[in-house]
Structure 1
Amino acid sequence: MHKFAHILRLGLKELTSLRHDSVLLLFLFYAFTVAIYMPAAGSVIGVHNASVAIVDEDQSALSRQLAQALQPPEFQTPVLLPYAQLDQVMDSGQYTFVINIPARFQTDLLAARQPAIQVNVDATAMSQAFMGAGYIGRIFQRELQAYGGQSDAASKAPVQLTTRALFNTNLEGGWFLAVIQIVNNVTILAIILTGTALLREREHGTLDHLLVLPLTAMEIMLAKIWSNLLVVVLCTWLSLEVVVKGALGVPLSGSMSLFLLVTAVYLFASTALGIFLATLARSTPQFGLLAIPVIIPMLLLSGGSTPLDSMPQWLQWVMQGSPSTHFVSLSAAILFRDAGLSVVWPDLLALTAIGLLFFVIALARFRKSLAS
């Protein structure tokens, strides 16, 4: 019973220290509000509001039909340009796409002479150039098939493909990005908060005071874990309710309590990792250098930024040992697909096992560092 009381009081000490750290509190507020809202609301995956200009040398009904086919929200209303300004607007970067429809295009098409449309792309606009050119190609192909009377033949094809997007019918990239931002921020804070808290106590001499008390290394570790776990879980819940569901309007259909439980398990693993890194470092700057090559792969290779299936097979197996990989999978399954415990238990079990392993390793290293 005394051990539980020690862990509780040490954890309260950590919370009191956090309450008086205005810089860290401001960073917590930023990480779970602005850092979630701005990427999700401002970053668009795909073509959106791309600028288009058309040089219409044909001046036919078909050329006007092609221009009208490029509509918002993917494209801005096309601007008609004279041919003499084509090079000028491309050099100045005024438009992402400049389409040149040659003279006698409609006549040549009806005569089966296979005329060509020139699509000039400003490739410096990398986020939209490649996908936008594909969009324009498919839109024009559809319009030309309809104009040539091939739409009826296509509708009578023996096999037709019907695509349905589940859980995100409008393919809103910001929905998934908001949750991934929370996962990334939880990862960063879990490692940074516990690591810097331990090093700050060592640099200020507070850790030496704790060692003269009847406390064990496990009690000190568990106190740091539960206090930081409580803060980050509370911030995660508020961010999901206020920012993701409220400000961004993302319909999270899954169980919030199950997700917060998974977050707590993930924090148990990540904070143990942060303590382990802090025992290897002798100062806060050194801890920062050690944390960078650990945090970056956890963020980039966990399946949030790049699908896990797109990675080499050996890297997929390596990332199974990272708690962030399982946390990303659990987050998407619970929040978007409303998966229950009967579905996600394998990932949850793997996450728990990794957390216990990290805790045991960190505890052994922490005891060794205290003895030295």
Structure 2
Amino acid sequence: MRALTNILQLGIKELRSLARDPALVILIVYAFSLSIYSSATAIPEAPYRATIGVVNEDPSPLSYRILDAFQLPYFLPPQAITHAQMDSGMDEGRYTFTLNIPPEFQQDLLAGRHPAIQLNVDATQVSQAFTGAGHIQQIVSSEVTTFLQRYHGQDALPVEAVVRMNYNPNLDRSWFGAVNSVIDQITMLSIILTGAALIREREHGTIEHLLVMPITPVEIMLAKVWSMGLVVLLASSFALRFVVQTWLAIPIGGSLGLFMLGAALHLFATTSMGIFFGTVARTMPQLGLLIILALMPLQILSGGQSPRESMPEVIQDIMLAAPTTHFIELAQAILFRGAGFAIVWPQLLALTAIGGVFFVIALSRLRKSLN
């Protein structure tokens, strides 16, 4: 009971120290609010009011049909321009896209020839150019295909692919961006807060006070783990409920309680990593550099930004030792696909085992540093 009391009181002390650190408090608030919103909406999934100029040298029904397909809010009404205006407009930034429909385009198409439409893109408008070029290609191909089918009297293609989008029917990128940002913030903040708590003890000289008290290193470590883990767990639950579900209107497929259980096990591992980094680093700048070196591979190679199946098998095997790999699989299965305990129990077991190993390593390092 005395050990539990010590762990509880030390954890409360950590929470009070965190509350008196405005920089870390602002970081937590930003990470689980504006950072998630910006990650979800930073990359547009479609062009928005993109400017387009058209040099139409073939005043045919097909060319006008293509021009009518550029609709708001994706594109502003196409502006008829000349060749000279096309070059000057691109140079001056008036048009993000310019389209050149060649003479006798419809006639060549009906004759079985393969005429080409020139599309110029202002690549300095990255947010529009990234998605707009693909949309324009799709619009032109769709209109040409529909025109040829009607001309040849074909009602439908002989073979039609029926595609059904599961879990994200509209292919909304913000769904993936928001949830993946919550996962990244949980990992980053848990490592930063626990490592900073240990560095703060050393810089303020309170670590010596703890050493002369009847407190063991495991009690010190458990206090930092539960207190900082609790802060991140509460912040992440707030982000999922009010930022993801309410502000961004993104549905959550599975049980938030099961996700919080997985997040707690993940925090057990990442907070232990933060303690380990806090024993290696002597100052806050050193801790920041160590965290950057650890977070980059954890976020990039764990399957959060790209599928693990597309990575070399050696990398896949190595990253099985990282808690983020199993946590991302668990989080995506629960939040996207509505998976239950029967599906995600292997990830829960893996997180428990990895967390135990990291805890023992960090505790051993902490004992050496205190001695």
**TM-score, normalization: structure 1?**
0.94
- The answer (yes or no) to whether the contact 2:326–2:351 under 8 Å persists in 1 is yes
Name the CA distance, whole Å, in 1 between partners of 2:18 and 2:97. 52
Note closer, same or farther for the CA distance 1:300–1:46 as it changes in structure 2 (3 Å cut).
Answer: farther
Name the CA distance, whole Å, in 1 between partners of 2:347 and 2:231. 24
Superposition deviation, residue 152 in structure 1: 6.3
1:54-93 matches, within 5 Å, as: 54-93=54-93
Name the CA distance, whole Å, in 1 between partners of 2:149 and 2:41. 41
Note closer, same or farther for the CA distance 1:321–1:47 as it changes in structure 2 (3 Å cut).
Answer: farther
Superposition deviation, residue 214 in structure 1: 0.8
Match of 1:124 in 2: 124
Superposition deviation, residue 92 in structure 1: 2.6
Match of 1:155 in 2: 156
Name the CA distance, whole Å, in 1 between partners of 2:20 and 2:314. 46
Match of 1:294 in 2: 294
Which amino acid counterpart does residue 289 of structure 1 have in structure 2?
Answer: L
Q: Which runs of 5+ in 1 are unaligned?
A: none
Match of 1:265 in 2: 265
Superposition deviation, residue 142 in structure 1: 2.3
Name the CA distance, whole Å, in 1 between partners of 2:329 and 2:75. 34
Which amino acid counterpart does residue 292 of structure 2 have in structure 1?
Answer: I
Q: How many residues align?
A: 370
Note closer, same or farther for the CA distance 1:278–1:67 as it changes in structure 2 (3 Å cut).
Answer: same
Superposition deviation, residue 80 in structure 1: 2.2
Superposition deviation, residue 107 in structure 1: 2.6
Which amino acid counterpart does residue 241 of structure 2 have in structure 1?
Answer: E
Name the CA distance, whole Å, in 2 between partners of 1:308 and 1:94. 42
Instruction: Answer yes or no: is 1:214 the counterpart of 2:214.
Output: yes
Q: Secondary structure at the match of 1:29?
A: helix
What's the Cα RMSD here? 1.9
Q: Secondary structure at the match of 2:321?
A: coil
Name the CA distance, whole Å, in 2 between partners of 1:310 and 1:129. 26
Instruction: Answer yes or no: is 1:248 the counterpart of 2:255.
Output: no
Q: Secondary structure at the match of 1:196?
A: helix
Note closer, same or farther for the CA distance 1:253–1:112 as it changes in structure 2 (3 Å cut).
Answer: closer
1:24-173 matches, within 5 Å, as: 24-45=24-45, 47-129=47-129, 131-149=131-149, 153=154, 155-157=156-158, 159-173=159-173
Q: Secondary structure at the match of 1:148?
A: helix
- The answer (yes or no) to whether the contact 1:46–1:127 under 8 Å persists in 2 is no
Note closer, same or farther for the CA distance 1:266–1:76 as it changes in structure 2 (3 Å cut).
Answer: farther
Superposition deviation, residue 186 in structure 1: 1.2
1:296-311 matches, within 5 Å, as: 296-311=296-311
Match of 1:354 in 2: 354
Superposition deviation, residue 269 in structure 1: 0.5
- Per-residue CA deviation, residues 71-127 of structure 1 (Å, 9 max, x unaligned), is 345434322222320111222333232110122222333333432211112233445
Superposition deviation, residue 160 in structure 1: 2.5
Instruction: Answer yes or no: is 1:186 the counterpart of 2:186.
Output: yes
Which amino acid counterpart does residue 253 of structure 1 have in structure 2?
Answer: G
- The answer (yes or no) to whether the contact 2:321–2:354 under 8 Å persists in 1 is yes
Which amino acid counterpart does residue 310 of structure 1 have in structure 2?
Answer: S
Name the CA distance, whole Å, in 2 between partners of 1:200 and 1:42. 34
- The answer (yes or no) to whether the contact 2:44–2:127 under 8 Å persists in 1 is no
Name the CA distance, whole Å, in 1 between partners of 2:247 and 2:253. 16
Q: Which runs of 5+ in 2 are unaligned?
A: none
**TM-score, normalization: structure 2?**
0.94
Superposition deviation, residue 51 in structure 1: 3.0
Note closer, same or farther for the CA distance 1:152–1:7 as it changes in structure 2 (3 Å cut).
Answer: farther
Note closer, same or farther for the CA distance 1:123–1:22 as it changes in structure 2 (3 Å cut).
Answer: closer
Match of 2:370 in 1: 370
- Per-residue CA deviation, residues 255-294 of structure 1 (Å, 9 max, x unaligned), is 1111111111111100100101111112221111211110
